[in-house]
Amino acid sequence: MVTVGTSYESRGRRDLRPLLFTLLVIPAVSLITLVFIFPFLRLLMQAGLDLTHSEDVAGTFGAQSVLWKILKNSVVIALQCTVSTMLLAYPLCFLLTRVSARTNRLMFLIIMIPFWASVLVKTYAWIVILNRTGIANEIMMSTGMISQPMRLLYNRFAVVVGMTHYLLPFMIFSLYSGMKSVNYSMIEASSSMGASTLQTFLKVYLPSTLPAVYAGCLSIFILAIGFYITPALMGGPSETMISVYIQQQIQLLNWSEGTLMAACLVGLLVVLFSIYNWAFSLDNLTRRTV
């Protein structure tokens, strides 16, 4: 309803909009072209040239098994982070929409403070917590839960914990905006017609939050797959993610290979982002018809 109203009101000024749109978009687009698209295309062309001129093409592609393993690692880690942030954020966001305005503000403050801290600081904080003599092990030892310190750091668990911590606020923002616009009279209608709480949740609430869930999951996956610092500092060898690998190749002056990997990553992200965009506009579309 709201969108229809706005477009009606602005109809009188419509002739100005294309010009204004162009003017507003020029600075951002030229900046991105200058510092990202142009250098990236140049590097890509260089990499293509290097590879066609190089006699070591077989060697470069001989490393494919490593590439696949790293690509698979990256996808799996990103999926694990997506699921864990989803599971943590969903109930929290539900709560956020149901509490008083004051509590809501307080809760958002608590969510935002760590969000503003640097990812490096958060990573080191987790290293302090999770190492063999760290806080987590000390608490579990002193309460008698374990007798030997557990290996909590330099493995998959540590990486997923660290990344989930970083990514959680992004999921919360995405879910919260979706959940806030759920029409509660539908839920009241559902329960007044005799549906159980579970039925109401599964048949009414969950479906109306699904667009936000999809959008949140996709954006978290996109953010997670390019992660560098956390897997590099908190992971073991099998948590080598694609960015870590690209950095290694660049340092070894294997620029063509590093660039091709970077191109793969960007390509993957473009595909994912297109899906995200498509789903997102679809979501708008349905809302408008309702």
Partner 1 sequence: MKNCLKSLIAISALALGLTTAHSQEPVTLYVNSAGGAVNEALRKAVWDKFTAETGIKIVDSGPADDAKLKAMVETGNTEWDLAEVNTGGFPRAIELGLVEKLDLTQLPTKDLIEGSYNDYGVWHSPYATVLAWDTRVWPLTGKHPTSMMDLWNQKDFPGPRCMYKSAIDTLELGALHAGVAKDTLYPIDQDAAYKELDKLKPDVSVWWTTGAQSVQALLNQDCVMGVVWNGRPFQMVRQEKAPFGVAWEGNILHNSWWVIPKGAKHYKEAMQLLAAMQDPKAQAAYASIIGYASGNKLTEQYLADDVKAFLATSPEHVAQAVKLDDNWWNKNGPAAEQRFNTWLLQ
Q: Give the one residue of 40, 48, 51, 63 binding partner 1; rule: CB under 8 A.
A: 63
HSE-up of residue 78 (Cα within 13 Å, Cβ side): 25
Residue 154 and residue 158: Cα distance in Å, rounded?
Answer: 6
> Any residues with CB less than 8 A from the CB of 25 and at least 6 apart, and which?
none
| Binding segment toward partner 1, per CB under 8 A, in 15-23, 65-73, 171-179, 195-203 | 65-73
250 binds partner 1 (CB under 8 A): yes
Task: Output the smallest distance, CB 267 to partner 1, in A.
Answer: 22
Residue given tokens 């970083």 in the structure block = 166
Task: Output the smallest distance, CB 158 to partner 1, in A.
Answer: 11
Contacts with partner 1, 128-157, as mask; x by CB under 8 A: ---xxxx--------------x-x-xx---
252 binds partner 1 (CB under 8 A): yes
Task: Output the smallest distance, CB 237 to partner 1, in A.
Answer: 4
Residue 165 and residue 212: Cα distance in Å, rounded?
Answer: 20
58 binds partner 1 (CB under 8 A): no
Residue 256 and residue 86: Cα distance in Å, rounded?
Answer: 37
Q: Give the one residue of 75, 88, 187, 232 binding partner 1; rule: CB under 8 A.
A: 232
Residue 185, token pair as written in the block: 């009279």
| Residue 154, phi-psi category: left (phi > 0), alpha (psi -120 to 50), beta (remainder) | left
Residue given tokens 């966001």 in the structure block = 93
Q: Is 208 within 8 Å of 183 (Cβ atoms)?
A: yes
Q: Give the one residue of 97, 104, 208, 248 binding partner 1; rule: CB under 8 A.
A: 248
Q: Is 140 within 8 Å of 150 (Cβ atoms)?
A: yes
Task: Output the smallest distance, CB 138 to partner 1, in A.
Answer: 12
How many residues bind partner 1 (CB under 8 A)? The answer is 29
Q: In the complex, which residues of this chain contact partner 1 (CB under 8 A)?
A: 59, 63, 65-66, 69-70, 127, 131-134, 149, 151, 153-154, 232-233, 236-238, 240, 245, 248, 250-255
